[in-house]
């Protein structure tokens, strides 16, 4: 997939699997489209410093009769804890269809959706990393063209997904 700008990329809603969609912060018209596609829950991963956007989105969801769950994640600080991720995964498993997003729909969204797909048995870590690398994970202000830097970012993502998976699997063992 060739992506020329972050704005062009982020207008798309990505289908992760039959229960999970991902993207950037939605507009009212995007929320209406999601509702028409059968989405019943919106998980917002934006940080607390974006509280006003979260508040207005919650109102929009209420108007459309969508469940809105605000679960802020800041990857620069640390990975979400096992308990936090189990909560997110339970929400995804117990809803008809879920839309997950952060501000730009790239880093937090991809990590949470990827880890959820792995834990629900939909994809392997390798397949998830491959899919995420094609969805714009490397888009920031400037696309990453340096293959060495790109590979380092992919490896870091793979290790975070592996960390998530192991943390969850170790908890599940009797």
Taking the CB of residue 8, how many other CB atoms lie within 10 A of it?
12
In a domain, 55, yes or no: yes
**DSSP for 14-78, written as a single string:** EEEETTEEEESS--HHHHHHHHHTT--EEEE---GGGHHHHHHHHHHHHHTT-EEEE----TTT-
Per-residue pLDDT, averaged over 23-51, amounts to 90
Please report the pLDDT score of residue 31 as a whole number.
93
In a domain, 24, yes or no: yes
In a domain, 53, yes or no: yes
109: domain CATH number is 3.90.190.10
Please report the pLDDT score of residue 85 as a whole number.
77
Phi, psi of 99 (to 5 degrees): -110, 125
In a domain, 147, yes or no: yes
In a domain, 163, yes or no: yes
- Give the count of domains, the chain: 1
Please report the pLDDT score of residue 8 as a whole number.
37
Please report the pLDDT score of residue 146 as a whole number.
63
In a domain, 1, yes or no: no
This prediction has a pTM of: 0.74
Domain range for 117 is 6-172
């Amino acid at each position: 997939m060739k992506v020329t700008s972050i704005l062009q990329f982020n207008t798309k809603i990505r289908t992760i699997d039959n229960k999970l969609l991902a993207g950037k912060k939605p507009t009212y018209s995007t929320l209406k489209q999601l509702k028409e596609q059968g989405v019943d829950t919106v998980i917002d991963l934006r940080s607390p410093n974006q509280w006003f956007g979260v508040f207005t989105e919650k109102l929009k969801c209420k108007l459309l009769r969508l469940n809105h769950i605000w679960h802020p994640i800041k990857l620069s600080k640390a990975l979400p804890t096992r308990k936090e991720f189990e909560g997110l995964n339970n929400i995804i498993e117990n809803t008809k269809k879920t839309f997950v997003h952060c501000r730009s729909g790239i880093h937090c969204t991809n990590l949470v959706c990827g880890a959820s797909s792995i834990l629900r048995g939909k994809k392997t870590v390798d397949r998830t990393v491959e899919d995420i690398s094609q969805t714009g994970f490397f888009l920031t202000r400037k696309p990453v063209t340096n293959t060495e830097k790109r590979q380092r970012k992919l490896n870091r993502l793979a290790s975070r997904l592996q960390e998530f998976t192991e943390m969850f699997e170790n908890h599940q063992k009797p």
